[in-house]
Structure 1
Amino acid sequence: MRQFVIYKRVSTAEQGRSGLGLAAQERDINIFLDAYAEEPFEVLAEFTEVETGKADDRPELSKALDIVRKTGAELLLAKLDRLSRKVSFVATLMDDKRVQLRVAAMPHADKFQLHIYAALAEQEREFISLRTKAALGEAKARGVRLGGERDATKARNKALKAQAQQGAERVAGIVLPLRSQGATLREIAATLNSSGVPTARGGKWQASQVKRVIERLEGAS
């Protein structure tokens, strides 16, 4: 029988208290268990951590790994970055022959593919950080005020992001099951339109909009 130890992580105490991010992880893990897990299977234990992905010392992860090493169960995560945002940390675990990883969002990925994904994700984060610093430096050189205006922009962007996330959650019950069954973005858009479900602005769905919804739902962690 296939056995799993589930590990979830949120990055701040506020997320831990409110459940932000945890619901999305639970949803993805349940989709994996329903659609991809070999039957019969057993979930031996579940652990939830409230800690940044940059920290290596995580007691709940240590408990989960201890069970995995003792039983031969697979460590099941919603997304690879829930394990760590550091490719070195991920690589060390992958080198441990007693640890088998399974990522719900990439149900068929093997260790080699997961390692590549972790490395690419880390490079992308480093590039985004450098790009942001460069943009701020250019703005400052042009005399742009980065104080109050930046705070106002940040608040406005936060409100827009929250609104978009609410819209994505509204159609999650239709979009995610269809996607897990292999439906294309265009097919999902057609289903939403034929079901009379409008976009957040009351219009018709396009494949690009479905793609953004999926990205928001997957990133709500």
Structure 2
Amino acid sequence: MKQYVVYKRVSTEEQGKSGLGLDGQDKDIEVFLKNFSEEPYTVLAEFEDIQSGGDNRRPQLDAALEMCRKSGAELLVAKLDRLSRKVSFIAALMDDPKLKLRVAQMPFADKFQLHIYAALAEQERKFISERTKAALQAAKERGTKLGGMRDPTMKRNAAMQVKANAEAKRLIEVIGPMRDAGKTLTGIAEALNSMGLTTSRGSKWSAMQVSRVLERAAA
């Protein structure tokens, strides 16, 4: 029987108390178990940390990993960044011969694909951080007021815009050749979903979302 140990993480104490972020992880894991897991299966235990993804000192994750190594169960997470936001940490886990990792949102991804995804995600986060700082500095130099009630909203909107542009730039290398070969938007979306890739919001691809990426890349 297939065995899993589920691990979830939220970033702050407030998220842990309110359940914010946990519901989404629970749903992703439920979908994976229902549609993609080998049958029959059992979940040995669930562990949860309330801590930043940049901090690798997480007692519940350590307990989950220890149970996996002893039982032979697979560690199941909703998204790769629930483990860590550091590619070096994720790579070390994947190199552990006593540990097997499954990501609910990427049910068919092997270790090589997960490693690439983690590296791209880390690179994207660094790029977004630098671009956001540059955009805010440019706005400040133009005399735009960034303080007060508008400041959090402006920062969030700027970060979302930069993230969307960065994602389009990264994905066009995959989407572009398929489009040039005459593949339809729907066909491209199906191909991305089959590769286990998700949108920036963690959802499945649709023809409309593929179209938006092409438009952003062209702009």
State whether TM-score is above 0.5.
yes
Structure 1 residue 114: Cα displacement: 0.3
Give the equivalent residue in structure 2 for 1:77.
Answer: 77
Is 1:30 aligned with 2:10?
Answer: no
Give the equivalent residue in structure 2 for 1:65.
Answer: 65
Q: Gaps (5+ residues) in structure 2?
A: 158-184, 187-205, 213-219
CA distance in 2, matches of 1:107, 1:51: 25
Give the equivalent residue in structure 2 for 1:20.
Answer: 20
Tell me if the contact between 2:5 and 2:44 (Cα under 8 Å) persists in the aligned partners.
yes
CA distance in 1, matches of 2:49, 2:75: 14
Give the equivalent residue in structure 2 for 1:140.
Answer: 140
Structure 1 residue 148: Cα displacement: 2.2
Q: TM-score, normalised by structure 1?
A: 0.70
Matched position secondary structure for 1:148: coil
Q: Which runs of 4+ in 1 moved over 2 A?
A: 148-157, 206-212
Matched position secondary structure for 2:109: coil
Distance 1:64 1:145, change over 3 A: same
Give the equivalent residue in structure 1 for 2:170.
Answer: none
Matched position secondary structure for 1:98: coil
Distance 1:156 1:95, change over 3 A: closer
Give the equivalent residue in structure 2 for 1:99.
Answer: 99
Residues 111-147 of structure 1 deviation map (CA, whole Å, 9 limit, x = unaligned) = 1110000000000000000000111111121122221
The alignment-based identity, stated in percent, is 66
Give the equivalent residue in structure 2 for 1:195.
Answer: none
Distance 1:22 1:91, change over 3 A: same
Distance 1:209 1:108, change over 3 A: closer
Structure 1 residue 153: Cα displacement: 3.5
Alignment of 1:1-221 (within 5 A): 1-148=1-148, 150-151=150-151, 153-154=153-154, 207-208=207-208
CA distance in 2, matches of 1:89, 1:129: 20
Give the equivalent residue in structure 2 for 1:199.
Answer: none
Q: Gaps (5+ residues) in structure 1?
A: 158-184, 187-205, 213-221
Tell me if the contact between 2:146 and 2:154 (Cα under 8 Å) persists in the aligned partners.
no
Alignment root-mean-square deviation, CA: 2.5
